[in-house]
Amino acid sequence: MSESTRKQSGKLAEIFAKINMSDLPAMSTHVKEILDLTSNKKYLKHEHLTKIVLQDYSLTNKVLQFANSAYYSPGQKVSTVSMAVAILGFDTVRDLCLAIALFDDFIQAGVEKEAISKLLIRSFLSAMLAREIVSTRFIRILPEEAFICSLMRNLGKMVACIYFPALFQDIEQEVTASGISEDDAARSVLDGMTFSELGVELAKFWNLTDTVIASMDTDPQKPESEDDEVGYLKCMADFSNRFVEGLCGHNNLEPLLQKYGEVLLIDEDDAIEILEDTAEASSVIFDSIRFGLQELEECRRKDEEPRSEKEIAAEGPSGINEESIQEYSLKLTQTLMAPFKLEHFFSLLAEALWKGVGFDRVVLSMLKVQGSEKYIKGLIGRGEMDSEGVKNFQHPVTRAEYAVVQALKGCKDMVVPENTPGAFPDELQDFVRSRTVYLFPICLRKKGIALLYMDKKSDQPALTKKQVKYTRMFRDLAVKALMKKDKTQ
């Protein structure tokens, strides 16, 4: 141990001694078990996660509530933990369990329930925001690492609020009264230590990973390259936490977005939309911190301009058939839980997008390689086309200027307005004429291997937020199906 590290650890013990704690706070066995699901590869199986969840009635109940929320499971009944894992995915359930277990520990240990709840829900929303940004922007870091690093970034502040609330209040009052920075106020109260430094020392004491510790950096530099995973984790943790803090504090978010917007491929509207969706899903499980979600909703309402009846009417009907979505979602989920044929699964998926979400036409195409040529080839189609139309849906993936190529190579969802010049090759011009086109790539290991092409006639209303959400939900099921087949081959 270096001299500086020894000095910081000693200072940490002195701070806790001030409040008559002879020992530093220990991490609960439950939280350690869940963290092992990330750090120890032998635990990376659904049955290990299911076993841990089932050991705790409260945790089991909250996971099932989350799986049955409209955000993840539109109306279908999820009655078992194993089914919840199938719907939400292993990583999502594990991350959720970590947050619930950690928050329960902190809530029970603290006195100032309201202040603790406020910090915890903001940390959770920050973690969900980071996870979704990584998942949808295909930044080269693991979504689960982004979640955990963002969740733990303000560990020092949370622990200070829980274990020495009087000192925590002194720091907050000092910031408000004198206008000094939070770091300066913390140093004056915590014997020269900031909240971030407090968190780093506790993370070391708890043997948390180096990436979690590195992500407590309050002023990270931009990543050195696309492969700089630690650099991206630092930026993601800092951005997500500062964005949630800024939104709830009605602060100017422009400087934050100028620093991170281009790096993380995010803008204010997209970040707020992600937060709204995750807050809606989370409200069913976090009774003790629901007020924080209400606070976020109030912040959002204050920032929104009221919409006129004319604007609302201009959106037109959504075209969604909720009952069909529920039925297809259940069928697809049940299909994934048993041996299945990929073509049958994709056929159900295409029908769900056509009949349920409300697209005029749906084509599911796969990446093909023939000699030196790579192209996307139509496999299954639904809507206003015949089998010949599906067969003729073919698109080379060598020309970077085309929308399909950009969507596949960037693994990003795209909307192509009707009759956009140069967006499609000549062979597809008749097929796409006078239609708004939606391209949702299906990616494995950050590589596009299939594509969902969907369109609507020019006289049809644009896709609503709910339709986008359901489309992504069905696309995620397609990814899970391909992953499952990939593992069995």
Per the listing, tokens 């089914």 go with 83
Partnered with residue 399 across adjacent β-strands are none
CB atoms under 10 Å from CB of 386, counted, come to: 9
Distance between start and end Cα atoms, the chain: 48
Under 8 Å between Cβ of 371 and 383: no
Domains and CATH numbers, the chain: 3-303 (1.10.3210.10), 322-488 (3.30.450.40)
What is the b/e burial string over 284-296, where b = at least 16 CB atoms within 10 angstroms of the residue's CB?
A: bbbebbbebbebb
**Residue 179 falls in which region: left (phi positive, over 0), alpha (psi -120 to 50) or beta:** left
What is the b/e burial string over 69-108, where b = at least 16 CB atoms within 10 angstroms of the residue's CB?
A: bebbbbebebeebebbbbbbbbbbbbbbbbbbbbbbbbbe
| H helix or E strand, kind and range, residue 454 | strand 447-457
**How far apart, in whole angstroms, are the C-alpha atoms of residue 177 and residue 94?**
41
pLDDT at position 487 is 63
Supply φ then ψ for residue 219, to 5 degrees.
Answer: -145, 65
Assigned token pair, 210: 């180096």
Cα 14 to Cα 96, 155, 241, distances in angstroms: 34, 18, 29
Supply φ then ψ for residue 365, to 5 degrees.
Answer: -120, 155
Supply φ then ψ for residue 212, to 5 degrees.
Answer: -60, -45
> Tens digit of pLDDT per residue, the chain (489 long)?
444 444 445 566 666 665 455 455 666 676 777 777 655 544 456 777 788 788 777 778 778 877 776 555 545 677 888 888 877 777 777 777 877 777 777 777 666 677 787 888 888 889 889 988 887 776 778 888 898 899 889 999 988 888 888 888 899 888 888 888 899 999 988 888 899 999 998 888 887 889 989 999 999 999 998 889 999 999 999 999 999 988 877 788 899 999 998 888 888 888 888 887 777 666 555 544 444 445 555 555 544 444 444 443 333 344 678 778 888 888 888 888 888 888 889 999 999 999 999 999 999 999 988 877 888 899 999 998 887 888 889 888 888 888 999 898 888 888 888 888 889 998 899 999 999 999 999 998 778 899 999 999 988 888 887 888 889 989 988 988 888 877 665
